[in-house]
Structure 1
Amino acid sequence: MEGLRRDDPDRIGGYVLLGRLGEGGMGVVYLGRSAGGRTVAVKVIRERFAADPRYRARFRREASAAAQLTSTVTAPVLDADPDAAAPWLVTAYLVGVTVHEAVGVHGPLPPGAARVVAAGLGEALVEIHSIGMAHRDVKPGNVMLTADGPRLIDFGIARPFDATAITVVGTTVGTPGYMAPEQAQGEPASPASDVFSAGAVLAYAATGRAPFGTGDTAMILARADRVQADLAGIADRHLLDVITACLARDPAARPSAGTLAHLAAPGGPDWLPAAVREEIDRRATTDPAALPAPLPTPGMADVTVDPVVTRPAQPRRRTLLVAGGATAAAAVVAAGLTLFRDRDEPTAAPPKKTTTEPTTTTSTPPPIAVPLWSTKVSDYYPDVFTVGGVVVAISQEDRVHAIDPATGKVLWTTPSTLLGEVAGGHVYAAENTNPVLRAFDPRTGAIRWSYTPPFREVIVRLTETGSVASFGWESLRARAATNGAGLWTAAVDAQNGLAAGGELIVAASGTALTGLAAASGQTRWTYPVDEPFYLAVGERAVYATDRNGVLHAIAAAGGTALWRVPSMMPASAPVPVGDVLYLGGGRGEVIALAAATGTRTWAREYGADCVVGHVDGVLQVSTGSEVHVLDAADGTTRWTYESDVNPKTPPCAVGGVVYVGTREGAVVALAPPGGARAGS
């Protein structure tokens, strides 16, 4: 648990606040105590949402509906004030661990325990559905294992079956990899949607793996739409049959929540694994205010999903432009932020270290950076890039902000509700009220060219190399980057990724990489790979990671395999620079590989997921809680800075100054002590 910050209130209603349990784009969850000494969880909505009558109505509905739930399989609502300046809701504080925590730390649940979880989910959903509600976000982080059995928590997004106009029109809330296909496509949530999500949770509990894989948001949702669930290793045939039935593509073919509850065999008093039971007992005898933060496992954040908007998770913020409505994007959805940012996707066990691994060390603490300025552009982590000597921030509220790197002054801004991207020498944006793709001059905001997509054309991937801008999803289109003149179209699938460099454009489908000539769009080569993601194009090679975490290097000229390195599990796209390839690893490392052979030249450990950028021989690294600037030659730390910074988008630099997006929604400029050069 995190302590209260300076700007946090000491009290909400009659509840004293003790610390922060979680935070997201929509609000903050605090640990509190009532006047009678009862420990509670207090959810407070952000002021900007409270000012919107639609969100206030949603919060009022949540409080009213959740108060009707009285069973022992949910978290009871104790108090609420939907009409407060910042609406708040109080629920019981449950002592236990989430399925996400239990599996992430102790491994898959045994079949008996998984069946008990299935029965508990079924019972909880029966009660929720009986009052005309759908939960809409059943996931491992919302299923609590307690001494009294499983509990389904977090009704922050529950809504009636027939509600259509209270949340933003056309949006769906849920978590990729756990939401039902029809829910992801924007259809109303239903009891069947919750049952699908329950099946996905049970698959995770039984295997220890996210059922539809990891990586790019759009990839995960495409697998879920095709119901390509990873159920390998579930030896209990009855449990496998239950999960398979819940994950049926057709909602009508799924069992009801009541049937799910009855399908699971009852569990005995020792249904939980011993290690999980001991952790619950430990928490039960510990003052909640003294408990640490939830056990971390990197993965997918909660999201708000729009059936015609996509924000893939890698490596930067990307959205989808569709002409003609939701039917053109059956499996394409967006990623934003809801009330919580639980991390719900597990990663595989880390690779074993070898004694020959070249890991750099330092004997004295590195210098601390000096903040030059801070400009608030969002309520939560903005994505920050540099282009044309300008800092560009894309906010969680879907606006592009161009910022003067010297002063922090906002030069211009534009909506980006359908598309926000920085590529090559341009800023690209489009808004949902006028679905036209526009290329902006980074410094002035002048529109250099625009493109109106034909009916139902989908744009989610966009890249630029030289004088060619290419974009698309199920097929590709290229236009001149300077004036938008049409160049070519290609029937090439880019749903898993799109990258470019030099005279090559590389598109990734679910089964292969395709290399195309940037000038003509002609296919140069194809390279088979299972669910590639995190693409990068270097001078002589193309790099991609497959679904098993194997890093592939492919010859840019002919598409032949150069080398493969297993168990890399990068946290962002690799950064090729000359003869070296830099990786921010999901194992908590920054790694330098020889581009020709894939052998390590050096590595630095941070113990947290790392995303990496590179400018002029200097690496900019974010671990989510720290910024590190390293010498690219040997990994030596030049300086560091401690702050809650964007864990998904690498820091960037202009003129040696490093720019990051913070949890408070600001863009911060950082320079090393004694100078304004990041590499000095």
Structure 2
Amino acid sequence: MRALAAADPREVGGNTILARLGEGGMGRVYLGRTVAGRAVAVKVVHPELAGDPGFRARFAREVAAARAVGGAFTAPLIDADPGAPAPWLVTAYLPGRSLQAAVDGCGPLPAPSVRALGAGLAEALVAIHRAGVVHRDLKPSNVLLTPDGARVIDFGIARAAEAATVTRTGTAVGSPGYLPPEQALGTGGGPAGDVFSLGAVLAFAATGTGPFGRGAVHELVYRVVHEPPRLDGIADPELRALVAACLAKDPEARPGAAELLERLAELAPEPPHGVGWLPPHVAAEITRPVPLPAPTADQGPDGRPESPARRRLLVGASAAGLAAVAGAAVWATVRAVADATAPEEGTWTLDELPERPSGGPVVAGGLVFVTVGIGSNGSLVAIDRRTGRRRWLADGVRGPLSATTLQLAVSGGVVYACGESEIRALGLADGRERWSVPSSDDPVPVLASGLLIAPEAGSSVRSEALVAYDAATGAKRWTFDAGEGMSAAPAVSGTLAYVTGNQGQVYALDTATGQARWRAALGSERLFTTGMTATPVVGGGVLCVTDDSGAVHALDPATGRRRWTSEETTGRGGVFGAAVSVAGPTVYLADAGGNLRALRLGDGKVAWRHAFRKSGNSPRWLLPLVTGGLAICFADDTLVALDAASGRIRWESPGHPGIFQRPVLAAGAVHFGSLRDLTSHDLATGRHLRTVSRDAASNVTAAGDVLYWNGEEAVHAAKAR
């Protein structure tokens, strides 16, 4: 809880504003008081979002969902105005602590308390689902432990139950580690998804860690979809069996909320009312009174302008009975990464984030861009590269899913980002939308010759047409119809854009007109149809594409004439196929089986091959960083430097628990992030130079001599040496 700043409102909807409670992706949350003296929580939308029609629609959904839901275990909505210049809503103020904060501060709950908590949350889900609503973001920070029992809050991404099963493919919402597999895959999400999230929340309450551990967003999403939950820490066998049933991958195999309520109510030794069901030390934290912050010089105790008459009227209006919602809101703080008294310029940590970072960082235009949230309900955050302060936030920008990267382009004072089924042009200075154009469900913005090139609207990654729009205005300039599905976004080199069809055709398009300069047929070979690997690669005077046998075809970029086709193939590698990169005189070919081949650029002959001990996730993470005569790869939790000429191992650095990413080079050293830390290594010998961070470090990137990466809850910048 913080004192009001000069720019904060003093009254919203007839409610007196007393203090700041916190800040999230939609807006700030204040502690308020009604005319009759009742404590309320007031959420006011950020000014930069109020002018966005798409955001207003999302906010109106939150209001509608909150109005529809009642019951003793949710936070009742008191008032709202989605149409106000600065939209707002008012809910009952729930003093206490979030489950996240309580467990982090006091440790896991004993089994009887977890059983009672489960009964209360199951009853809340019954009320939510009875109202025709699916919460879709149940997690420890959205569960409040209050003096009156456990409550469920935040319906910001809730949907009507009848619409929850028609989610667009590729769209996911929720919090990684707690969202169900069907939401992670974007194939739907109904009431059964809330039951999955409830199981994950109970596992956290019982063990202090979610059932899929900690890590980067894409790592958690991968585990949710493909790996069993980790429930060994739940000692109570009956509770463990119930949680396991909730966490079934198949929604049809999970118990319903009503069934779960009945079973947990039988097991709970006490009803989840008051604080008697909690351990005494946790109950004491929840009921501990915390006074309001001191008002500023021009304010009275209730936040209104002070006067002698008002001072007399307000004597005795103490806030000692209001407990802080510690940990239930995200606080805006920027602090130094290093523990020096004065941080070095460009060195910072930003945890002013409404959700965990998912995509980026991407460094461009003096800003650092990250997404928070996943799927089309994510938001794009622009951060000042020098100070680490948040410049703006744009709602409705697609956050990457598992093993994919943030698709973003920046040019001419405009940021081009992907929405749910459109590409949005946002002002670099303020994040406001200038224009948007419809695109496929999985658009990738590609800039060339002052144009934005994207798949045709209403199509998928097998789009049969590309459309080019004026990058300044969004006006359509040309359309190219291949007559066959296209496997990925085009690769641009000079004035040509290279496009692969999934029936063995490669096209070179004039970026200004969309006319085909040449077309090359690769016989009967099908090209990979997954956008993660099929984009053509241009380098060293050749254009490389792969087919679904794992063969590499090298073409002349100017004419399309085939230079060579590799004799050796990787074999069919499932959805991940194979990936190619070009560095110096070598074409590197990686496959999903954990094999790396070095092909001679001139004739495609194999110069050397290296088989890692086990396969990774996507072969593109195995493609090496090539520098100083070394090809540096990550596999098997080990950073490996191979001799670029012979493939011989030059050095190894083991003990990096996996995050799928490639090492980066900055300030003459190699840097790599893992689930445990971010480390720097000597390029020539692999000697450990330093540990930059002892937190999970994902999506590490370098710009100049500065490293940028996402931690579990924050974005970081640190000098590379």
Q: State the TM bucket, normalised to the shorter chain.
A: 0.5 to 0.7
Note the C-alpha offset of 1:259. Answer: 1.8
> Map of 1:272-351 to 2, 5 A cutoff?
272-273=278-279, 276-282=282-288, 294=329, 313=359, 335-338=375-378
> Map of 1:127-166 to 2, 5 A cutoff?
127-163=127-163
Residues 32/411 of structure 1: CA separation in 2 closer, same or farther (3 Å cut)? closer
Of the candidates 475, 485, 490, which is equivalent to residue 439 of structure 1? 490
> Map of 1:332-411 to 2, 5 A cutoff?
335-338=375-378, 378=394, 393-395=415-417, 397=419, 399=423
Partner of 1:537: 624
Identity %: 30
Alpha-carbon distance in structure 2 between the residues aligned to 1:182 and 1:8: 40
- 1:230 matched to 2:230: yes
Partner of 1:666: none
Q: Deviations over 1:573-629 (max 9, x none)?
A: 531459732245777x7642234654322345699969754456x234468989856
Whether the 8 Å contact between 1:426 and 1:439 is mirrored in structure 2 is no
Note the C-alpha offset of 1:438. Answer: 4.3
- 1:553 matched to 2:555: no
- 1:515 matched to 2:596: yes
Partner of 1:450: 499
Of the candidates 690, 712, 719, which is equivalent to residue 602 of structure 1? 690
Deviates more, 1:418-427 or 1:222-231: 418-427
- Return the TM-score normalized by structure 2: 0.62
Whether the 8 Å contact between 1:585 and 1:610 is mirrored in structure 2 is yes
Gaps of 5+ in 2: 294-321, 332-348, 364-372, 400-404, 467-487, 504-525
Note the C-alpha offset of 1:239. Answer: 1.3
> Map of 1:550-629 to 2, 5 A cutoff?
550-553=637-640, 555=642, 558=647, 562-566=651-655, 573-576=662-665, 580-583=669-672, 591-595=679-683, 598-604=686-692, 613-614=701-702, 618-621=705-708
| Larger-Rg structure | 2
- 1:192 matched to 2:264: no
Whether the 8 Å contact between 2:679 and 2:688 is mirrored in structure 1 is yes
Q: Deviations over 1:460-486 (max 9, x none)?
A: 357757355669999898786956969
Alpha-carbon distance in structure 2 between the residues aligned to 1:150 and 1:73: 6
Partner of 1:28: 27
Note the C-alpha offset of 1:521. Answer: 11
Alpha-carbon distance in structure 1 between the residues aligned to 2:354 and 2:52: 21
Q: Which has the higher contact order (CA 8 A, sep 6+)?
A: 1
Aligned-pair Cα RMSD in Å: 5.6
> Map of 1:662-673 to 2, 5 A cutoff?
none
Q: Which amino acid aligns with 1:256?
A: G
Note the C-alpha offset of 1:191. Answer: 1.9
Deviates more, 1:377-386 or 1:108-117: 377-386
Q: Which amino acid aligns with 1:439?
A: P
What SS does structure 1 have at the residue aligned with 2:151? strand
Partner of 1:81: 81
Alpha-carbon distance in structure 1 between the residues aligned to 2:56 and 2:684: 57
Whether the 8 Å contact between 2:612 and 2:635 is mirrored in structure 1 is no
Q: Deviations over 1:102-159 (max 9, x none)?
A: 3445444332332222212211101111122211222222222233332211112222
Residues 55/615 of structure 1: CA separation in 2 closer, same or farther (3 Å cut)? closer
Q: Which amino acid aligns with 1:160?
A: A
Deviates more, 1:466-475 or 1:58-67: 466-475
What SS does structure 1 have at the residue aligned with 2:173? strand
Q: Which amino acid aligns with 1:451?
A: T
Residues 531/130 of structure 1: CA separation in 2 closer, same or farther (3 Å cut)? farther
Deviates more, 1:513-522 or 1:127-136: 513-522
Alpha-carbon distance in structure 1 between the residues aligned to 2:125 and 2:428: 51
Alpha-carbon distance in structure 1 between the residues aligned to 2:548 and 2:104: 33
Note the C-alpha offset of 1:98. Answer: 2.5
Alpha-carbon distance in structure 1 between the residues aligned to 2:551 and 2:215: 22
What SS does structure 1 have at the residue aligned with 2:177? coil
What SS does structure 2 have at the residue aligned with 1:33? strand
Q: Deviations over 1:73-105 (max 9, x none)?
A: 111111112333443322123223333333445
Q: Which amino acid aligns with 1:527?
A: F
Gaps of 5+ in 1: 305-310, 318-332, 342-367, 636-680
Residues 187/532 of structure 1: CA separation in 2 closer, same or farther (3 Å cut)? closer
Partner of 2:475: none
Count of residue correspondences: 569
Q: Which amino acid aligns with 2:63?
A: A
Alpha-carbon distance in structure 2 between the residues aligned to 1:87 and 1:113: 38
What SS does structure 2 have at the residue aligned with 1:162? helix
Partner of 2:611: 526
Whether the 8 Å contact between 1:449 and 1:484 is mirrored in structure 2 is no
Alpha-carbon distance in structure 1 between the residues aligned to 2:548 and 2:414: 24
- 1:492 matched to 2:567: no
Q: Which amino acid aligns with 2:611?
A: T
What SS does structure 2 have at the residue aligned with 1:114? helix
Partner of 1:266: 268
Residues 193/611 of structure 1: CA separation in 2 closer, same or farther (3 Å cut)? closer
Deviates more, 1:126-135 or 1:219-228: 219-228
Note the C-alpha offset of 1:70. Answer: 3.3
Deviates more, 1:122-131 or 1:412-421: 412-421
Alpha-carbon distance in structure 2 between the residues aligned to 1:100 and 1:468: 51
Whether the 8 Å contact between 1:403 and 1:412 is mirrored in structure 2 is no
What SS does structure 1 have at the residue aligned with 2:444? strand
Alpha-carbon distance in structure 1 between the residues aligned to 2:179 and 2:554: 36
Partner of 2:113: 113
Q: Which amino acid aligns with 1:538?
A: L
Alpha-carbon distance in structure 2 between the residues aligned to 1:160 and 1:527: 47
- Return the TM-score normalized by structure 1: 0.65
Deviates more, 1:54-63 or 1:13-22: 54-63
Alpha-carbon distance in structure 2 between the residues aligned to 1:53 and 1:121: 33
